[in-house]
Amino acid sequence: MDQLIIAAIPFFLLFLAIEIVVLRHAAHEHAVDPDAPVGYAPKDTATSLTMGIGSLGFKALVKIVALLVFVAVYELSPLKMPMDTWWAWVLLFLAEDLSFYAYHRGHHRVRMLWATHVVHHSSQHYNLSTALRQDWSPFTAPIFWLWLAVIGFPPWAILLAQSWNLLYQFLLHTETVRTLPRPIELIFNTPSHHRVHHGVQDKYLDKNYGGILIVWDRLFGTFQAEQERVVYGLTTNIETYNPVKVGYHEWVAMFRDIRRARNWRDRAGYMFRGPGWQPVADPVPATTAGRAGGADLGTPAVRKATRTGSPTVGPEVTHLRGSGHGARGDDDRGRGSRDAALEPEQGVLSGGG
């Protein structure tokens, strides 16, 4: 169902042009207002659009493989959803949105998945072009929707539901809409809720994973309302607008860590633990004692050190990076520091004053 996304491209560009005009007016009227929208910067927008165009090709290849797998699983499953009934569509809507929540949360909590998703968070601007900043390595995504074929949803319906979820989320990436009526804010994901998700403040990190519905975050304890002014992006800059570097910098950093790891347990930790995970230091020489687990970067002291770039935090942590791919927490709340961000650029269309 990529035809829906491709057909929507003219509307994406139209809404983007309208938002540029609106935010340019806001920048002129509120030049000294610290709460004014961040707006657009030419290089940042060009990077976002380039990533979006490139992602169409990569995702088309992945969807061909995913479709074949979905068809095989659907044919093998004894269950079949009656798509000519209204309740099957309601169930599809809920099941697909829950799948997106699981996908989104997983791609923040596992470093190998974060290496893909970090692309979408790599802009310090928040506008409709940010919605188009998509990754070039979407190889893990179909796994999170496979269960829909198992329970009997036909592959075409799964792909259709993914498309309407993506279209909905495009409109969330804006500062021109502050809040919507309370019943909508209670049930649905809104621009306000999604701004929180893109924030770098401690209270905003790893919150609001929902796609269309925000109820999953309320149910699973990952909801955070918008309070203080959101600062967008990630906690450590990569200082580039090069699309290739934006797309693959975290993969490079992860494989560098894996290559330098001391053992296979540490290598697995660099791949499957939280972004920013580090193995602990040996408390005594390795000849007399074995190594223990890994450092939990979810503690407040470690999170603070990671944000400020401190090289060590007590004897239990081998090292922490303050630059490069940075670090994120590995605790149960999914809180930590985001890796990699672009330096803010005061562009001609910036609404920051």
pLDDT confidence of residue 173: 98
Question: Which of 320, 291, 284, 282 minimizes the C-alpha distance to 304?
Answer: 320
In terms of DSSP bridges, do strands 294-295 and 278-279 run parallel, antiparallel, or are they unpaired?
Answer: antiparallel
Q: Give the pLDDT score at 335.
A: 35
Residues 261 and 265: their CA atoms lie apart, in Å, by 9
- pTM score of the predicted model: 0.79
Q: Give pLDDT, residue 32.
A: 55
What per-residue confidence (pLDDT) applies to 37? 80
Residue numbers of the chain with a pLDDT score lower than 50: 28-31, 282, 284-353
User: What is the residue-averaged pLDDT of the chain?
Assistant: 82
What φ, ψ does residue 283 adopt, rounded to 5°?
-70, -30
pLDDT digits (tens, 9 = 90+) for 214-232: 999 999 999 999 999 999 9
Check residue 280 and give its pLDDT. Answer: 85
The Cα–Cα gap between 139 and 61 comes to 9
Helix (H) or strand (E) segment spanning residue 101: helix 86-109
pLDDT at 38: 80
For the chain, domain boundaries: 2-220, 237-344
Q: Which pLDDT belongs to residue 1?
A: 58
Report pLDDT for 288: 30
What pLDDT, on a 0 to 100 scale, did the predictor assign at position 102?
Answer: 98
